[in-house]
Structure 1
Amino acid sequence: MKLKIVIITLVGAIILIACATNPFTGKQTMALPGTENSSLFPAAFQQYDQFLSDNKVIKGTADAAMVTRVGQKIAVAAERWLNANGHVGYLNDYKWEYNLVDDKTVNAWCMPGGKIVVYTGILPIAKGEAGLAAILGHEVAHALANHGQQRMSAGMLQQIGAVGLNVALKDNKNLGLFNQAYGIGTQVGGMLPFSRSHETEADSIGLTLMAIAGYNPDEAAELWKRMSAQSGGQAPPELLSTHPSNDSRIANLTALAPKARAEAKKFGVTSFK
């Protein structure tokens, strides 16, 4: 009887999963109750404000102005693409904000709802607006495709599965071993590939956004060549990483650049920075 209840619970959870659609791919995505934008965005905005208050935000410099300028162009490109593809109003709840933070970390990020941070440490690798557009296009793509929502949903489903299978498992003596195997199996076989697919998807969407914004999509592959050189080849095997390998990324970006350029042409953009 317990097993039957567990199965019904798991099936019910799975049925609830595919209730959102990625506008860029048309595919259904995981969106469990509690991960809707109405809940996710306010929490993200609050965390963003707290982050800014805890860190040194750079204002009034040429670099800070560049971050805002490029970010705004990427946001406009996103709205143009969404409107042209039947998603008018998709960005109504997004509150775009762009900040440069004094930090040597080579990183940038965009929280759900459009809150963007660029660390000063990534600017030497960006080498100007086009490289920064590749970075911001990728980060904004994560927010537009609701990858944060999907990761939360996947984590919830992973927990539901663990609880359900623990209830169903009758061999309590080996419960600890089972949980360890379940954790490793779902991480390597599920969560990590899921994360890598998000990164690849964000690369593809980001290329389109930067091209529509007027930046050469070829620069994305060049950026990652510099990223690879900067890392000195220090990276975990792709199978155990949240991100594709640098080589995989460079090859994929190079292959997708012509498609991004063709998409930009639909919007009258034929020359690039």
Structure 2
Amino acid sequence: MAQKSGKQTTLYQQVQAAIADMIESHRLKPGEALPSEKELENKYGVSRITVRRALEELERSGRVVRSKGKSARVAQPFQAHARTRLDDDFMMMLDLVRGTQAQILLFEWQLPDEELQNLLELETREPVLRVDRLRKANGRPTLHTTAYVPASIGVKFDRAELANSTMIEQLAQTGIIPIQVDQYMSAVPCKEEIAAHLEVEVNSPIFQIQRLVRSDTDQIIQSLVISFRGDSFTYHLSAMFKQDSEEVEFASKPVFDQIGSMHSSLAKD
């Protein structure tokens, strides 16, 4: 298998990193079975011994669980589920960037690989727009975002305007209405390409949000990954049951050096 530039790694470490990346990006979901050892051999062009060493390391790190005679599975993390009104969700996203300065790192049309094509539910391998941005607060990097949008959506974006507004704000001006968001939040090791922008060590812990946004026509209009410096981001959540109601009132506060606040009402799950 091809090796990334930079620090030398062994074959099993490369396989381990590739599988870990699929888990962290939720291409392999909690509880889902990994490909068989034979399939992993063929996919990465390595020996059975190499595959088993990679799986051993993934098990040791808590990413997968293995049992005799069965395929390894992605470990089930502790999970909390909540439902929120969409207008509250987008207010939160606006609060996250309020008071920050945006720098466009990449604004580029790309042909998606099979995984991205499936994620965006594209019927054909059409170009997608990728936009990478870095946001700073008081001159200090706080978060990095990578967004992919399909061609029919990407043509509506203006690079210069994205430095001063969010994609969702620009879409709203064109009449495209987001109606559903699926979101994962987790702590992950920082990848090399993001670490350089956030000015942190490679593999140091960062907080990451992965979002998939759908329109009122059920089209996926955005895949977004937000990576926060671990020492710049705090998410404060308090909750109170409403009297005579099935709802729980939540007040949450994402903080970048005391920047931003939000309030949301979530249904009891």
TM-score by length of 2: 0.22
More strand by share: 2
Bigger RCO (CA 8 Å, 6+ sep) = 1
Q: Which has the higher helix share?
A: 1
